[in-house]
Structures are given as C-alpha cells and as structure tokens.
Amino acid sequence: MKKRNTKYQALRIAIIFALLGIAWILSSDLLLSNIAKSFHEYEHIQTYKGWFFVVIVAIILYYLVKYQLALNNKLSDELLQHEMKFKNTMENMLEGVQIIDFNYRYSYVNDVAARHGMKRKEKLLGNAMMECYPGIEKTEMFQKLEQCMHNRKYHKMENRFELPDGSSGWFEVGIQPVPEGIFILSNDITDRVEAEQKNKEAQQRLIEAQRMAKMGDFTWDVQTGEVTWSEALLDMLGYPRDQEIDFDMINTLIHHPDDLESVTNWLYSSLESGSEILEPHEYRIKDKNGEVIYVCTQGKINIQKDGKKTIFATIQDITNLKENELKLEESEKRYKNLFMQSPDAIFINQQDVIVLANKAFVNLVNAEQIEDVIGKSPFDFFHPDFHDHVREKIHKVREEGIEISSYEEQIRSLKGSVIDVDVHRSSFENEGFTGIHVILRDITESKRAKQALIESKRQLNTVMGNLPGMAYHTTLDAQWPMEFVSEGCFDLTGYTTGELTGSKHITFGNIIIPEDRDNVWKTVNEMIRKARQFVLEYRIQKKDGSIRWVWDKGIVLQKEGGEKHSIEGFIIDITDRKDAEKALEEYQNELEVKVQERTEELEAFAYSVSHDLRAPLRAINGFSDILLEEYATDLDDEGKRLAKVIQKNSRNMSMLIDDLLTFSRAGRKAIQLTNINMQEMVKSVYYEATTEEKRKNLELIVREIPNCMADTSMMRQVWMNLLSNAIKYSSKTDKPRIEINWKEGNSKLIYCIKDNGVGFNEQYIDKLFGVFQRLHNVKDFEGTGVGLALVHRIIKRHNGEIWAKGEENKGATFCFSIPK
C-alpha cells in the first residue's frame, strides 16, 4: 500500500510545488512591477527575487529532502527493526526453525534448530539436507517433507532422531509449506518424553511400594456400584488382573463372615454422615486361598455437586501388626502373671497410692488378700524411721526417671512385725499414668547370714590376734608395702597395724635389717620362680631397737595382667629358737670337744694300759720259759704242764692286748684315702699270713677285683683279718678253698671272700661282729674275738657295709662294700 501512496504523494507534492512556484512568480512579478521605479531596480530586484527564490527553494528542498530521507531512514530502520524482530523471534523461539527451499537446501536455520541438529548454522545454510545429514532420506520425517512439498499441506509428527554424536532425542516436528519452500518447526520433547517415562516408572514404583506395604487401593462408585481394584490390591489378594470384581464376589469371597456386619455398618454410617473422610477400620478379609488377612481400610469420600459419592480407599494388610499386637497382649498377660506369681513382693505406687500389688507383697505384709493393700499408701507399710529416706528415693525416681536400688529399708507388716527389705524402685507407665514400680525383697535371711559372716570374721580376727605371729598381705615389692597385717604385728615388730599398713609410715621393708634386705628380696624371688611360695629366716629391728630373728612363709596369689603379685603369709618370731639353736650348737661343740678330749684320754689310757701290760706279760712268758728250760729235770710232767698253761695264757693275754690296741687305734687314726690295688694287697697279705707249707695245701682263687679308694694300712688289716679267718676256719677241711670275688653295687664296690671251711650258724649272726664275741670254741679255733669287730669298725669308717652268710660245715662268705 505504501508504494502507491508514495507515488501519489510525490506527484501531489510536485504539483503543489509547481503551483506555488507559479503563484510566487506571478505575484512577485506583479508586486515588483508596482514597486520597482526603474528597470535597473527592477532588474536588481528581479535578481534578488531570483536569488531569494532560489534560496527559498533550496531551504524548502533541504527540509523536504531531509524529511524524506529521515522518513526513508525511519522506514528502513523500521524495516530493519522488523526484520530484526522477526529474526529475533525466530532466534529466540524455543522451537527449532528451519526453512528449506524446494531443493531441500537450508535457507534459514535458527540456533535452536542448529542445536537440535548438532550442526553449525554456517555449515547448514545453503547446503542440502541430504548433504548435512546423510541418511536423512530414509527417515519418516523426510518422507513427510516430500509429501508436504507435493501436496502443500501441513504435517505433524513425533520422531525419535539419531543425532550425529550417537545420542538420540525425541522431537515434535511441524511441517508447514511456505512460498520459499517448507517451514519446519521442531520441538525438543526429549525431556517431556523422559518425564513421561519417569512418571510411568514412578507410578510403577508407587504400585510396587504399595505392594510391599501390602497396600492396595480401590474405588467404589456408590451410585453405580462399580468397584475398581488397583493392581496392588489384586496382587495382594492373589487375584489375576482380569478378575471381575462385584459386590457378590466381595461379600462372599472377600469379607470374613464374622466381620461382614461391622464392615457394612462402618461403610454406610460413613456415607450417611456426609463426611468426606472414610475413617480407618480394621477387619478381616480372605485372600484367594482363603487365608485370613487383617486389614485396615481408610480413605476419602468424594461427594460431587450432584450428590454422587465415590469412595477412594486404601487397604493395608496389617496381619503382621495384628500378630504383634496379639503377641504384645500375650506378653502383657504373661507379665501380669509373672507380676502376680513373682516370689518378690511387687506393688505399683501411683501418686502415693498402691494401685496394684502381687501375692508376694500381700504375704510379705501379712495381709489376707490383695484388696487389703490396694488403695493404701506405701507409707503405711514402710517403717516410720525410713519414711524420709523412702520419700527421697521416690522423688528421685520420679524426677530423674532412673532406677534406684535401696538396701536395708524396713517395713511393718499388718501384724506389726518389722521386716528388713531391699527395695528396687523404677518408673512405670500404666495406662497413661507414670507410677513407681517397687520390688521388695525380704532380706531377713540374708541379713542373718551377713551377721553370721561378720561374726565369723570377728572370730577369725580374734584367732589371728591370738596367734603367736603376724599374718600379712602385701605386694611383691622390695619395700614390702603391707596391705594388711594382723594384730600380732605389735608383738612382733613393736609397730601397730596402722603404722605398718599406712604408706605414709614405715613399710615392712624398713624393718628388715639392712644386711638382710637384699638377701630376702633375692631369695623370695628365686623361690617364687620355682614354687610360687617361699620360706626364709631373716632379722628385723623392732621399734624399740632390738634385733629379732623371724621365720616368714608366704604364698603368691596369682594376679591377672602384669600387676605386681600379691603375697599372703605369716611371720613368727623365732629369736628364742635361734638362741636355743645357737646354744645347742655351742653345747654340741663343747660336747665334741669334750668327747674329743675323752676319746683322747681314753685312747691314751688304753694305750698306756696295754703298753704297760706288755712288760709283765713278757716277764711271765720269759720266766716260765726259763723255769721250763733250766729246771726241767726238777719238774715232773704235771709241773711241766702247769708251766705250759701259764705260758699259753700269757700268750693269749698278749694277743688280746694287741688286738685291743689295734682296735682302739683303728677308731682314732685318721683315714687317708688312696687308690688301692686290691688284687696286689690280697696277694701280699696272703703271703704274709701263710707259710709256704700251708700254701701248698690251700687253694686260693683271686678274681680280677677292682681298685678302690681306702686307707692302705686299714684295708690291709681288713684283708689280713678276713683272710686269716678264712684260712683258720677252713684249716680242718680236706681241700680248703678260698675264693675272692667282687660285684658292682649302687655307686659302691662289693668285695667277697668265700671259704669252704667250718662255716657258722646264721642264728648267731648278730654276734659275728661283736667285740670279744666268738662263735667257736677257743679249743677248736684260737682267736680273741676282736678281729671281725675290727674289720667292722674299719669298714664302717669307710662308709661301707659288711655282712656275712654261712652254714655250718659248708663254709662262709664275708662281703664288704666300699663307696666308689
């Protein structure tokens, strides 16, 4: 429209201008001819008029052109703006805009479309779709485009596009034919689609949740009677999805017959009440298998404007809950039972009134029945002396809600007797009120037992106090810090129990005299390592300074974890004993000395006696011999015989004295042990004891007897005596045989000499080794009876043993042992 206007406008302006010009010229000429006086003036004015005219025209032209240009600018600005707006709109559209020409080339693409297509605008513009998105020809959208190209109709579709980066999205596409080609409007509905999907999922989850919560829901259109069950409800009851639900089915199969009435009442009363809320109601239903399920149903009643009602309700399976409820009921019942039957007396105190009590309590307070105590105040039963105490405890339980055990309160029974009790109080919820749960235990018996224990402890203490020593309990520490000492410590140490056990004062370790302290510590530890107890003697210094010997026995008590050991023990003062021991020792030493002196005196005496006896013997022998020799002719046979008797007897006496002397010497001479070749000694003694004549008739067998450690001269004496005996006592046998043998003993050597001589009667074996004891007559076998005693003495001094076996006329065997 503007175009036309422009044309006409321009023409109009030109015509006006021309007319105005003409008008000016004519008018001005007219004016001028009137005004100008000369031609010359006329010419000047004409020129000025001309200039004036030109100037006016120029000015008018200037403003006109400016106006026009401005208008033009404005128009073009407006046009530009419009274009911009248009472009902006396109650009700012949430939708993607693509304009393709008839060759399927992109003539315009907005940012969104470019984004949708994941390509740069620049890449797209001017290029064919097929070039930009290879394969696009196969898509449904492209087909629609083609259709649109041909039938120039609007098409709409939703499409899932595969994008160049491999991802995909949902797009709603509007295809609009436009003069230039096709205008494609695309909407990214991926989010929407996804949201829809999520919604679906959420719905599914909700259904699942309902299923898990054992919830189902249903709707009931009251007017039409139509009932719809949710999937969850169907599943909950085990019915298939295509199950037909109607009233009959519900009433016969679903509802539990016992609850049908209550359900019906509940439903109808709710409907009639006009309320919009269906209050919860619990009842039983049956599932497809006939199993009973407890359910709780609640919901909304939707009342439409026309009064039509629809119920939207949820049903929840509360079988578990119900079961738990029943269990709780049962456990409450059980508790009640327990409460009643408990041997401990229990009552519930509510606001200082006994509201509940059990049988035991009734018995405790000597009541007849429970009713006698219900309603009374606990203070009626607690002994007045304890009322403040009880009040305090009750207050504490109430305020702080804690449990309190209280020991040794007293109650008074209805008969007036006082009973000692331990009381335990705790908070107790009972039908909305907080009371106090009170348990009482009769401790009369236990109190008695405690008293008995205290008494026995006292007795023990008395006993300990009267013991002549100190019982103690300490830890294993070089300071011996006493944890406990009995009363006896005062007599023992001069310190009181307090002084010894308080760590501020001295410790027992201080009392042990310094010289003995280290030894005590060391010895105790050594003994404990071996046997977990110790016994030792040491000295202490009493408070008064005196030193006393003590005997200490202790046992280690095992303690767990690396704590120091505990020791329990007993200490006695043994100073008297020690003094006695010392005195005894001294006395013994004195005795030893005395004995030694005596022995020496005795030996000197024995020596001098035998020594002095020799001389007269010599004289007797000598002179009786002289008598025989020189006065033989004057003596008859009898006289000679008498003289001989004298001689023989003095000889005997001489031998006796010798033997005695040897015997006494054997007792006191010191033993000097050397390694003795016994075999050699035996042989040598044999030769000394026998003449060649005798040896001819004698069979001597000496086995390989081992060496031994003994005193040479003494051992020689032993062999001399034993061998001489063997020879002597087998001298009367035809074939005298002597065998010397040996055997190994328990860390000793045993030597034996066996003969086949006249033997001896074992009946007299006790006399064998006695001094001067003989088992044979001197007529048969000479001898003084000292020989074996001597051998016995010597062997004993070597710490050996000697014994013999014999049989009359069969021979004898003498054995002696020498320690190795």
Provide the binding-site residues for another protein, judged by CB under 8 A: 607, 611-612, 614-619, 621-623, 625-626, 654, 658
Cβ 597 to another protein shortest distance, Å:
19
Cβ 654 to another protein shortest distance, Å:
5
Instruction: Give the residue with the Cβ less far from another protein, 313 or 786.
Output: 786
Cβ 626 to another protein shortest distance, Å:
7
Cβ 659 to another protein shortest distance, Å:
12
Cβ 792 to another protein shortest distance, Å:
24
Can you read off the two tokens belonging to residue 192?
Answer: 């929407």
Q: Distance (Å, rounded) from C-alpha 567 to C-alpha 559?
A: 10
Instruction: Give the residue with the Cβ less far from another protein, 473 or 665.
Output: 665
**Contact call for residues 121 and 107 (beta carbons, < 8 A):** no
Instruction: Give the residue with the Cβ less far from another protein, 464 or 655.
Output: 655
Cβ 628 to another protein shortest distance, Å:
12
Provide the b/e sequence for 583-604 (b: ≥16 CB within 10 Å).
eeeeeeeeeeeeeeeeeeeebe
* Cα 293 off chain centre by: 47
Instruction: Give the residue with the Cβ less far from another protein, 573 or 659.
Output: 659
Cβ 648 to another protein shortest distance, Å:
13
Instruction: Give the residue with the Cβ less far from another protein, 57 or 655.
Output: 655
How is residue 284 annotated by DSSP?
E
Cβ 643 to another protein shortest distance, Å:
14
Q: Which SS3 state, helix, strand or coil, does residue 603 take?
A: helix
Instruction: Give the residue with the Cβ less far from another protein, 230 or 784.
Output: 784
Q: How many CB atoms lie within 10 A of CB 238?
A: 12
Q: Which SS3 state, helix, strand or coil, does residue 716 take?
A: helix
Cβ 772 to another protein shortest distance, Å:
20
Cβ 578 to another protein shortest distance, Å:
43
Q: Distance (Å, rounded) from C-alpha 679 to C-alpha 741?
A: 10
Instruction: Give the residue with the Cβ less far from another protein, 598 or 611.
Output: 611
Can you read off the two tokens belonging to residue 259?
Answer: 């609850």
* 511 CB burial (10 A radius; 0-12, 13-18, 19+): buried
Instruction: Give the residue with the Cβ less far from another protein, 464 or 620.
Output: 620
Instruction: Give the residue with the Cβ less far from another protein, 250 or 613.
Output: 613
Distances from the Cα of 327 to the Cαs of 324, 331, 335, 357, 432, in angstroms?
A: 5, 6, 12, 24, 21
Cβ 603 to another protein shortest distance, Å:
11
Can you read off the two tokens belonging to residue 470?
Answer: 């100190």
Instruction: Give the residue with the Cβ less far from another protein, 658 or 762.
Output: 658
C-alpha closest to that of 242 among 234, 232, 251:
234
Cβ 791 to another protein shortest distance, Å:
22
Instruction: Give the residue with the Cβ less far from another protein, 277 or 619.
Output: 619
Quick one: which H or E segment has residue 247?
Answer: helix 247-249
**Contact call for residues 421 and 442 (beta carbons, < 8 A):** yes
Please, which residues have CB within 8 angstroms of residue 241's CB and are 6 or more apart in sequence?
231, 234
Instruction: Give the residue with the Cβ less far from another protein, 176 or 654.
Output: 654
Can you read off the two tokens belonging to residue 588?
Answer: 């013994």
Instruction: Give the residue with the Cβ less far from another protein, 486 or 610.
Output: 610
Q: Distance (Å, rounded) from C-alpha 647 to C-alpha 480?
A: 84
Provide the b/e sequence for 383-408 (b: ≥16 CB within 10 Å).
beebeeebeebbeebeeeeeeeebee
Instruction: Give the residue with the Cβ less far from another protein, 653 or 765.
Output: 653
Cβ 789 to another protein shortest distance, Å:
21
Cβ 727 to another protein shortest distance, Å:
22
Residue 436, φ and ψ in degrees, nearest 5: -120, 130
Place of tokens 């076996």: 805
Q: Distance (Å, rounded) from C-alpha 626 to C-alpha 681?
A: 40
Residue 382, φ and ψ in degrees, nearest 5: -70, 140
Q: Distance (Å, rounded) from C-alpha 515 to C-alpha 795?
A: 46
* 360 CB burial (10 A radius; 0-12, 13-18, 19+): buried
Can you read off the two tokens belonging to residue 311?
Answer: 């119920």
Instruction: Give the residue with the Cβ less far from another protein, 568 or 658.
Output: 658
Q: Distance (Å, rounded) from C-alpha 718 to C-alpha 450?
A: 79
Q: Distance (Å, rounded) from C-alpha 635 to C-alpha 644?
A: 12
Q: Distance (Å, rounded) from C-alpha 744 to C-alpha 752?
A: 11
Cβ 535 to another protein shortest distance, Å:
51
Q: How many CB atoms lie within 10 A of CB 114?
A: 20
